Amino acid sequence: MCEKKAEEAVSLEVHQRILSRNDETARHNREHFDRLGTIAVNLMGSPGSGKTALLEATARRGNRRVAALAGDLETDRDAQRLAAAGIPSLPITTGSACHLDAGMVHRALHDLPLEGIRLLAIENVGNLVCPAVYDLGQHASVVALSVTEGEDKPLKYPVMFRTADLVVITKVDLLPHLDVDVRAIRNNLARVMPRPRAIEVSSRTGEGIDQWMQWLDELCEAATAPLQEARA
């Protein structure tokens, strides 16, 4: 019974998502949002694609009870810009990490009260690849794509656009100065997004911001949970 056996080779089938721990934390975040009646949007895009400007333009449209988390490798400049625009904001400084993960958002939520907040914009690190890999617990994913980035970005970075619920084509006021055709951008989006949806905006002139606000309103209306009011 106690004879010594030789080591035995064993093959163990696991089939588990490597990011299962992030998925678990994301689920936890989503439950937190749902409990409070807050809709979370993961706003992604290249550095300089106009993510912060889009949120500033959102704030200029009045009281929509918006708060924001702003991810950046260094500095809290985006969070400062958003706070100056009237959006309660917290920075998430990632150091060398090229993306936000669900744990970073979870930790930040301890310091950002969401009672009375209808929309939480999570401005991801400027990067067209890595942020798409990590679920943060958001209800919708939005990619900001500026017309200055050219027509072929969707084909070059399909992963980010595949999971997007909406693409906001930004800086359209610059189109007269560029050899860029928005129809070509839309055509390329249809090859990487199964439900291609895009709106064209200029945060500077306000063009298209109505459509963006309407999309946000529809997103919030689709949510079933009532908004939990701020405690007095």
List the one residue from 27, 77, 107, 191 that touches another protein (CB under 8 A).
191
Roughly how many angstroms between the first and final C-alpha of the chain, as a whole number?
71
Q: Which of 178, 185, 220, 187 is nearest to 200 (CA)?
A: 185
Distance (Å, whole) CA 113 – CA 109: 7
Residue 3 within binding range of another protein, rule CB under 8 A: no
| Closest separation in Å from C-beta 85 to another protein | 30
Name which position in 51, 81, 99, 118 contacts another protein (CB under 8 A): 99
Rule CB under 8 A: is residue 9 a binding residue for another protein?
yes
The residue range among 24-32, 79-87, 98-106, 175-183 that interacts with another protein, by the rule CB under 8 A, is 98-106
CB 99 within 8 A of CB 134: yes
In whole angstroms, how close is the CB of 185 to another protein at the nearest point? 14
| Residue carrying structure tokens 């405690």 | 231
Binds another protein by CB under 8 A, chosen from 2, 3, 11, 226: 11
Contact between 183 and another protein by CB under 8 A: the answer reads no
Evaluate the CA torsion angle 103, 108, 140, 98 in order and state its sign.
Answer: negative
Listed residue (171, 145, 132, 113) closest to 19, CA to CA: 132
Does residue 13 belong to the site contacting another protein (CB under 8 A)? yes
Closest contact distance (angstroms) between CB of 9 and another protein is 6
